[in-house]
Chains A and B, each alone.
Chain A
Amino acid sequence: MPATNVLDEVEIVIDDIGRGGGNKPPSHDDHRGGGGDDGSHRPRRPNPAQSGQKKYQTAILLGMVSIFMFFMALSAAFLVRKTGKDWIQFRLPGILWLNTVVLLTSSLTMDLSRRRLALGDMVGFKSMWRATTALGLAFLAGQFVAWRELVARGYYVGSNPSSSFFYVFTVAHAVHLVGGIGALLYVLFRNFNKTRVSLSVASEITSYFWHFMDGLWLFLLALLYFGA
C-alpha cells in the first residue's frame, strides 16, 4: 500500500469567493434574482422582493411538462389502440371547429390584455382579461354541446374505443382548462397588494398556461381528426 505523503509546507492560497449564486446574472431590464457573477468579488445579496417571483415561472413551466407527459401517455395509448380491429371511426362534431376558433381568439385577447398591462392601462387590461375568461367559458360550453351531440348520435363513453378516447381527451383537456379559468379569475379578482406574487408575474404565468392549453387543444384536435 503506498505511503501517504506528509506535506512539509502549507501554502495558503486566497481564493476568489462569490463565484455566483444560485440565480442567473441579472439582465439589464430585469432585476430578477441576486447573486449573479457580475465581476465583483463581493457576494451580492439576493433581492428578497424579486428572487421569489422567478419560482412561479419555473413552477408553471414544470407543471406544463407534467401535463404534457400525461397527454403524451394518452396519445401513445391512442395510437396503439387504434390498430385494433374493433376501432370504429366516426365524424367529429362540427362545433369543435367553432370551439377551436373561440379558444384561439381567447389567446389573442390574453396577449392583448398583457400588452395593455405592460403599458399601464389597467382598464384595458381588465376588459381584455374578462373577454379571455368569457371566451374560455364559451369554449367549455361548446365542448359540452359537442358531448351532447355525440350522445345524441349514440356514441357513449363505452361505445367503442374511438369514442372512449374522444371523451377522455376532451374531458381531460376541459378539466385542465377549468384550472386555467380559475387562474384567470384569480388574476381578475385578487388584491395583489396583499400577495407574494405580483400582478405582472401572475398574468405572465397564467398566459403561459393558457397558450399551452391552446396548443394542446390543437394537437388533440389533429390527433382525433386524423385518428378517430
Chain B
Amino acid sequence: MLQSSLRTSHKVVGLRYLWLALVSVFLGMIMSLIMRIQLMWPAVHFISGSGVSPASYSALTLLHGSLMVFVVLSCAPQAGFGGYFLPTQIGASEMAYPNLSRIAFWITVASVFGMVAAFFFEPQSGLTLWVAGVAVFCVAAVLNALNFMVTTIDLRAQGMTLPRMPITVWAWFINAILSLLIFSILVATCVLLLSDRIAATHFFSAAALSLGVPASSAIPAFPASWQRLFWFFAEAQVYIAVLPCFGIITHLLATFSRRPVFAHRAVVLALCAVGLLGFCIWGEHTFAAGMDPNSPLVFSLLASSLGIPASILLVSWFGTLWNANAKFSTAMLFALGFVSLFVSGGLSGLFLSAAQFRRAAQGDDFVTGHYHLVMGVAATFAMLAALFFWFPKMFGRALDERLGKLHFWLTFVGVYCLFMPMHWLGLISRLRHPANDLTAIFATHSPYGSLQTLVTFATVVTVAAQGIFVLNVAMSLVRTPQASRRNPWGATTLEWSSMAAASQVSHRSHITSHLVIHRGPYEFLPPNLRFGGDDFVPQDSPTPALPPTRPTAFGPGPEPLGST
C-alpha cells in the first residue's frame, strides 16, 4: 500500500483526484439532503441531540460548500481530468514534476481530512481547523498549478504549437495561471485569519485592549477587509471551477458533432478573457460591505462584460452544432445539458451583476439558485460528460449508454426542478422577510407552500438518481475490458491515438516523447472523404492536409487546423 501511495504516474494521481472528488460529491449531496429535510421540518432534531442550533446547521452548510467547491469543483476538472489527460494531449510522457503531483495530492487529502474533521469540533476550534485545512489546500493547489503550467509551456511534443493545442489544454493552462495567482492570495488571507484566531492578533478586528477598553465592548471589527481579501479569491475561484468545464464541453461538442470547433481562436481568447475578467470583479460580492460609492458601477460594468466571452463561447458551441450530424451519446447529452444550465444560470447572473439588485438579493435563495445552476450543477454535468467520454480510455471499457441516458434525464429534470424555483423563492422571501436571519428563514420555510415541497422532492429524486450512476460505474468496472475499441468516439486528440501511445516511452527523465504533431486537434472530414475508414484524422498522423469541411449556414466551412 505504501508503494502504491508513492506512485507518481500522472494517470494514477489524476485518477486518485477523481476518486476523492467522487467520495466528496456523495458526502456533499447527503449533506444537502439533510439540510433540505431540516428546512422542511425544523422541529425534528436531525443534526444535534440538543436541538437544531444555528451553529451546527451553519457548520453543515460550510462543510457542504467546502467539499463541493474545493474538492469537487476545483480538483476534479483540473487536477483530476487535467492531471490525467494534459500530458497525453500535448504529447508529453509525464507531468514536468511527477513527484510534485503526488505530494500535492496527499496534501489535498490532508486538507480534506482537516475540513471534514472540523465539523466534529466545537464551533470556534472547528473553524480554526477548517481555516487551516483551507490554507493547506491552497498550497496543494498552487503546486498543481505550477506543475500544469511548466508542463504545458515546456513539455509539448514537437509540432504541438499553441494553435494546435486542444481546447481542453488551453482551458487547463489558463486555469492554472488563475489558480497560481489566487490560491496564493488565499494562503495569505488564511495566514492572517489563523493568526487572529491563534496568536491573538487583530488583523480583522480592532485591537480593543490597546485602547484601554475591554475586548467585549462595541468596537466595530474589520470584516470588510476580510471580505475583500476573501472575495478577491472566491470570485476568481468560480472561474477556476468552470474554465476546465468550458474546455471539456467545447472539446466534446466538436467531437460528437464531427466538426472543428467553430471560431477556435475566438474561443481561446474568450477563455483568456474569462480568466482575466474573473480576476477583476471581486467587488461583485461586496456591494453591501460599505464600498466607495463609485465602485459598484465599475464592478457592475466589468461583471456584465463577462457576457461577451460567454456569448462567444455560446456562439462557438451553437456554430459547432449547427447542421451537424451529431451523435447523441450520454457524454454529448451531458455536454448539451451543461450548455442549457450555463445559459439558465448565466441569465440570472446578469441580474446579479446589477449593484442594486445584488444588494437586495444578498444571502437569499436567488443567489443560491444562480450559483448552483451555473457553478454546481453545470460543472457537475461537464464532469459527468468528461467521465462518460474518457471512461473507455481510463478503464478500457465504456459506461452503459442506456443507464447513462436514464441517469442524465432524471438528473437534468431534477436539477431544474430543484434550483430554478429557488430564484422565485428568493424574490418572494425578500418581500416577506427583509432581514436575513435564520429564525425568520426557518419560519418562512417550514410551512411554505408547494415550491418548497417541490424543491425538497426534487432534491430527493436527484440524489436518488445518482444511484443509477453508481450502479453504472460499478457494473462497468466489473465487466471485462474491451480491447477492440480503442477509440470508440472517433476522437482526434492524442490520448486516443495508437501512434501516440506507442511512441510515448515512460522513463525516469520524463522528457518530451519522440512524437511529432502534424495538425490541429479537430480535423473531421466531410462526408465524401475517409481516412482509413474513419471520418477524422488524428493529430499525429503525417498524412497530407485536407480540403475544408462542408460549408455551414454562416458560409464556407472552417479550414482544418493542420496548416496552422
* Min CB–CB distance A53 → chain B (angstroms): 9
Number of A residues contacting the other chain (C-beta, 8 Å)? Answer: 63
Verify if A91 is at the interface (C-beta below 8 Å from B). Answer: no
Q: A4-B550, A62-B180, A80-B225 are in contact. Are A55 and B158 (CB under 8 A)?
A: no
Q: Which of A2, A5, A158 contacts B199 (CB under 8 A)?
A: A158
A159 near B154: Cβ-Cβ < 8 Å: no
| Interface residue ranges of B497-554 to A (CB < 8 Å) | 509-512, 514, 516, 518-519, 526-529, 542, 544-547, 550-551, 553
B550 near A161: Cβ-Cβ < 8 Å: no
Q: A62-B149, A160-B207, A164-B195 are in contact. Are A73 and B154 (CB under 8 A)?
A: no
Verify if A46 is at the interface (C-beta below 8 Å from B). Answer: yes
| Interface residue ranges of A73-98 to B (CB < 8 Å) | 73-74, 76-77, 80-81, 84-86, 88
Verify if B210 is at the interface (C-beta below 8 Å from A). Answer: yes
Is the contact region of chain A dominated by helix, strand, or loop, or is it mixed? loop
Verify if B394 is at the interface (C-beta below 8 Å from A). Answer: no
Q: A20-B159, A157-B199, A158-B199 are in contact. Are A80 and B228 (CB under 8 A)?
A: yes
* Min CB–CB distance A133 → chain B (angstroms): 25
Binary CB contact string for chain A from 14 to 57 against chain B (1 if under 8 A, 0 otherwise): 11111111110000000001110000000111101001101100
Verify if A63 is at the interface (C-beta below 8 Å from B). Answer: yes
Verify if B382 is at the interface (C-beta below 8 Å from A). Answer: no
Identity of the chain A residue whose Cβ is nearest the Cβ of B100 in the assembled complex: A59
Which interface residue of B158, B185, B191 has the most chain A CB atoms within 10 A? B158
* Min CB–CB distance A46 → chain B (angstroms): 5
A77 near B203: Cβ-Cβ < 8 Å: yes
Q: A1-B323, A58-B150 are in contact. Are A22 and B161 (CB under 8 A)?
A: yes
Q: A15-B544, A18-B159, A66-B180 are in contact. Are A81 and B203 (CB under 8 A)?
A: yes
* Min CB–CB distance A179 → chain B (angstroms): 13
Q: Chain A residues near B189 (CB, 8 Å)? A: 73, 77
Verify if B181 is at the interface (C-beta below 8 Å from A). Answer: yes
Verify if B482 is at the interface (C-beta below 8 Å from A). Answer: no
Q: Which of B185, B509, B553 contacts A52 (CB under 8 A)?
A: B509
Q: Chain B residues near A65 (CB, 8 Å)? A: 180-181
A172 near B191: Cβ-Cβ < 8 Å: yes
A76 near B229: Cβ-Cβ < 8 Å: yes
Identity of the chain A residue whose Cβ is nearest the Cβ of B164 in the assembled complex: A19
Verify if A152 is at the interface (C-beta below 8 Å from B). Answer: no
Verify if A10 is at the interface (C-beta below 8 Å from B). Answer: yes
Q: A10-B547, A35-B159, A159-B210 are in contact. Are A66 and B142 (CB under 8 A)?
A: yes
Q: Chain B residues near A141 (CB, 8 Å)? A: none
Q: How far is the CA of A20 from the CA of B164 in the complex (A)?
A: 11
* Min CB–CB distance B83 → chain A (angstroms): 17
* Min CB–CB distance B39 → chain A (angstroms): 36
Verify if B104 is at the interface (C-beta below 8 Å from A). Answer: no
Verify if B156 is at the interface (C-beta below 8 Å from A). Answer: yes
B192 near A67: Cβ-Cβ < 8 Å: no
Nearest 6 interchain pairs by C-beta: A22-B156, A73-B188, A15-B545, A158-B200, A69-B184, A21-B158
Given A4-B527, A51-B511, A55-B154: 14 more A-B contacts, CB < 8 Å: A15-B545, A17-B516, A18-B158, A46-B514, A48-B511, A51-B154, A55-B96, A73-B184, A77-B229, A85-B211, A157-B200, A158-B200, A164-B201, A164-B202
